[in-house]
């Protein structure tokens, strides 16, 4: 059975999804879960994009014990230097180098000839070889590149030292038959292709990213790239969970499989969905809430007689537990610890005390504490452990004659308690006016979202806000049994994040060094 390597770009391409803004702690949590899942390579970021991206990529490389960590770089020496600075202490550093190859990119973006593109690609691969043993070269917009030229580019970069050559369908343009033919052509016509791994990277603009990736595997690809839940630019990337399960279920056809721990897929999906605030559609394949639900009478009858009549994937295969430990107000600390460990979280005894205290407070208000509640409490307590930040101590809101008044007490980063009150036309406005006065920051609220973390009237509320301050934009999250409490915590969290945020590095236009793109975050896909 042929083994297909999995290259996960949730932290890089996935984070480029509009509305996604992960902080360092969230990136580390996702990275560690991806390592539990068993992906072969994690693309942690674009180190040259900003000091913050470089530091977060470095932190992920330091944190992981077994998984290769990659950093994206344009075809210039400065980007390669930044990637090495971020990755040099990782266990298996990989450089992901890209340069556009299609006629439309060569003419309108690069203003370069075919010979100049090859020369630039070879120069950068050779330069990167001084640092990296593992170099992946991506031909941006390969799907719309002339096949003979793509052959020549790959032949040259493999000879220069590239170990992986990637064929991105950057704009999701190709059909499975066309994309499969590209791989078959390259296998047959690149003379040194046996010295490199062929990789597939597909976008979902026409809804064919997973089908195209599987067509690539069928025609010789030994690595697939994508994201968890298929998040990413525009319509997103190929969903890795769908590719992995398709290869497993239809290994009789593809004769290939990944080494992913499939039982971790459901949990990985939930972690990514929660931290990116991208909800998984209920009808999504493999990890959607309805993936294993059967309502039609004929389906239910068939399932009762023989599961495989209407279910080709078992819930247990992807990590949905048929039995669930029910936690409530009578549960002890040991039961909570066991459930956390089952969910994949390892916490210290000191941290467990804090989580258990919050758990008991919630259990007094809810009949049943669900897994989603437990994870939310864990994240809330993790954020509260940081001493160098504002922390909510008290909130009281009153409403009379169409005017809301909020009284709030905060603990400052210096450990001093301060109290203030303000009014607003609504409760949330009064709360945010009060906090703004307390921290002496003129903060603009750009977006406010609220959702229930579970079912029922006693469900926990999660609020996410997007704010701006002096040109910086950040998000904040808050979880509470009370909507106004969650709203307060989210706003305070956004302020704490803004205080820690590094201002993005400014890049000067340099045609010689940066002709590959005119925008620091305009990546190959």
What's 28-79 look like in SS3? HHHHHHHHHHCCCEEEEECHHHCHHHHHHHHHHHHHCCCCEEEEEEECCHHH
Domain spanning 391-500, CATH class:
alpha beta
The pLDDT, as a whole number, for residue 304 is 52
Label residue 20 by pLDDT band (50, 70, 90).
Answer: confident
Given 3-state DSSP classes, what are the helix, strand and coil percentages for the chain, each rounded to the nearest 5? 45, 20, 35
As a whole number, mean pLDDT of residues 400-405 equals: 90
- CB atoms inside a 10 Å sphere around CB 221: 28
Q: Check residue 305 and give its pLDDT.
A: 62
User: Of the given ranges (243-252, 322-331, 336-345, 405-414), which has the lowest mean pLDDT?
Assistant: 322-331
pLDDT at 102 (0 to 100) = 98
Residue 524 has pLDDT above 80, yes or no: no
pLDDT at 258 over 70: yes
Segment 104-111 shows an average pLDDT of: 96
Percent of the chain scoring above 90 in pLDDT: 60
C-alpha closest to that of 493 among 418, 430, 437, 439: 439
Question: Where do runs of H (alpha helix) occur along 64-196?
Answer: 77-87, 103-105, 114-128, 147-160, 176-189
At 54 the pLDDT is 96
Q: The tokens 């960590």 sit on which residue?
A: 69
Residue 195, phi-psi category: left (phi > 0), alpha (psi -120 to 50), beta (remainder): alpha
Give residue 321's pLDDT: 63
Is residue 215 scored above 90 in pLDDT? yes
Q: What is the pLDDT of residue 195?
A: 98
Average pLDDT of the chain is 87
* Three-state SS at 16: helix
Output the pLDDT for position 385: 58
Average pLDDT estimate for 90-103: 97
Average pLDDT over residues 511-520: 36
pLDDT at 306 over 80: no
pLDDT of residue 337: 84
The separation between the first and the last C-alpha atoms of the chain, rounded to the nearest angstrom, is: 30
CA 372 and chain centroid, separation = 18
Q: Which one-letter DSSP state was computed for residue 465?
A: E
Model pLDDT, residue 21: 80
Phi, psi (5° rounding) for residue 63?
-75, -30
Handedness of CA 338, 343, 347, 353 (dihedral sign): negative
Is the pLDDT at 307 greater than 50? The verdict is yes
- CATH 3.20.20.70 matches 2-285: yes
The helix (H) or strand (E) run that includes residue 316 is helix 315-318
Query: For residues 342 and 171, which has the higher predicted lDDT (pLDDT)?
Result: 171
Q: Which residue has the tokens 């819930």?
A: 315
Residues 102, 72: Cα–Cα separation, whole Å: 20
| Section 262-276 average pLDDT | 92
Taking the whole predicted model, whether its pTM rises above 0.85 is answered as no
User: Given this model, what pLDDT does residue 317 score?
Assistant: 86
- pLDDT at 39 > cutoff 80: yes
* pLDDT confidence of residue 192: 98
Cβ pair 254, 213 in contact under 8 A: no
pLDDT in tens, 141-166: 999 999 999 999 999 999 999 999 99
Higher pLDDT, 503 or 332: 332
Please, which pLDDT band fits residue 456 given cuts at 50, 70 and 90?
confident
**Residue 274: predicted pLDDT:** 86
Give the mean pLDDT of 238-244: 97
Least confident of 16-20, 86-90, 160-164: 16-20
């Amino acid at each position: 059975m042929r083994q297909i390597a999995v290259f996960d770009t949730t932290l890089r391409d996935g984070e480029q999804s509009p509305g996604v803004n992960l902080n360092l702690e969230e990136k580390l949590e996702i990275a560690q879960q991806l390592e539990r899942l068993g992906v072969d390579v994690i693309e942690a970021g674009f180190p040259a994009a900003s000091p913050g991206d470089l530091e977060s990529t470095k932190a992920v490389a330091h944190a992981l014990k077994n998984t290769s960590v990659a950093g994206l770089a344009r075809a210039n020496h400065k980007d390669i230097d930044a990637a090495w600075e971020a990755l040099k202490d990782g266990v298996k550093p990989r450089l992901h180098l890209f340069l556009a190859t299609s006629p439309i990119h060569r003419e309108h973006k690069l203003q370069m000839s075919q010979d100049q593109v090859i020369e630039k690609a070879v120069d950068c691969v050779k330069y990167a070889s001084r640092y990296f043993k593992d170099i992946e070269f991506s031909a941006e917009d390969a799907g719309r590149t002339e096949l003979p030229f793509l052959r020549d580019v790959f032949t040259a970069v493999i000879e220069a030292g590239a170990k992986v050559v990637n064929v991105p369908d950057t704009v999701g343009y190709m059909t499975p038959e066309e994309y499969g033919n590209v791989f078959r052509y390259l296998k047959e016509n690149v003379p040194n292709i046996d010295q490199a791994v062929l990789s597939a990277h597909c976008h979902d603009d026409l809804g064919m990213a997973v089908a195209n990736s599987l067509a690539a595997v069928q025609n010789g690809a030994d690595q697939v790239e994508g994201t968890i839940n298929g998040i990413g630019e525009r319509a997103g990337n190929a969903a890795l969970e769908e590719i992995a399960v398709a290869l497993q279920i239809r290994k009789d056809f593809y004769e290939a499989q990944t080494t992913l721990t499939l039982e971790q897929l459901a949990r990985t999906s939930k972690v990514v969905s929660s931290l990116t605030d991208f909800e998984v559609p209920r009808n999504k394949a493999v990890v959607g809430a309805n993936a294993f639900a059967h309502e039609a009478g004929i389906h239910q009858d068939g399932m009762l007689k023989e599961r495989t009549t209407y279910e080709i994937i078992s819930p247990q295969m992807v990590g949905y537990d048929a039995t669930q430990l029910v936690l409530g107000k009578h549960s002890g600390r040991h039961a909570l610890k066991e459930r956390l460990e089952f969910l994949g979280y390892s916490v210290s005894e000191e941290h467990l005390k804090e989580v258990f205290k919050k758990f008991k407070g919630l259990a007094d208000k809810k009949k049943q504490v669900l897994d989603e509640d437990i994870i939310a409490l864990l994240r809330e307590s993790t954020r509260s452990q940081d001493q160098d930040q504002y922390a909510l101590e008290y909130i009281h809101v009153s409403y009379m004659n169409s005017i809301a008044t909020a009284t709030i007490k905060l603990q400052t980063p210096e450990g001093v308690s301060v109290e203030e009150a303000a009014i607003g036309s609504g409760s949330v406005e009064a709360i945010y006016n009060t906090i703004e006065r307390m921290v002496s920051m003129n903060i603009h609220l750009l977006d406010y979202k609220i959702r229930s973390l579970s079912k029922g009237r006693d469900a926990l509320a999660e609020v996410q806000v997007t704010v701006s301050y002096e040109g910086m934009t950040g998000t904040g999250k808050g979880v509470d049994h009370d909507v106004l409490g969650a709203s307060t915590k989210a706003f305070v969290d956004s302020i704490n994040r803004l205080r820690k945020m590094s201002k993005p590095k400014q890049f000067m236009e340099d045609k010689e060094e940066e002709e590959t793109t005119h925008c620091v975050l305009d990546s190959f896909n």
